[in-house]
Amino acid sequence: MLSGASIGNLFLGGMAPGILIGLALMAYIAYIARKRNYPKGKRYPLRQFIKITIKAFPALLTPVILLGGIYSGIVTPTEAGALAGFYAVIIYCFYGPSILPLFFSSSYLAIYPFHILSEIHTPWV
């Protein structure tokens, strides 16, 4: 970086404004929801909230891996992004629904136009 500032310090410098913007948006949304009389969401008992949080815990570790790797100096920001992305894919493979049918159908839809275009130029080769 030209200024010599570390990426970790730049992330830390953006945390306070990010938190303030998040709090301001939450206050604005709460104000608008009350003003327009939007329905309230379902309240969960504490026991169910804890169960849901425990079930989501592996996915909630993704930002910890990302930021912890950067701030501890173990990995560079690029490597941390790749590591967090790989971790998210692994977590999805174990906990998420099977997406193979969707993957194959979307792959077919993505490849089909290229197949048509390649057939147009075949007689000229």
Q: Quick one: 51 and 26 in the same domain?
A: no
pLDDT at 81: 92
Rounded CA-CA distance 7/76 in Å is 9
Examine the pLDDT at 96 and tell me if it is beyond 80.
no
Tens digit of pLDDT for each residue in 99-124?
777 777 777 788 888 777 777 766 66
Q: Quick one: 91 and 61 in the same domain?
A: yes
Q: Quick one: 73 and 123 in the same domain?
A: yes
Its domain, for residue 117, covers 43-125
List the structure tokens of 47. 């026991």
Tens digit of pLDDT for each residue in 26-85?
999 999 999 999 998 888 899 999 999 999 999 999 999 998 998 898 998 899 999 999
| Residue 65 and residue 72 in contact, taking contact as beta carbons nearer than 8 Å | no
Q: Quick one: 37 and 4 in the same domain?
A: yes
Neighbours of 36 (CB within 10 A): 7
pLDDT at 109: 82
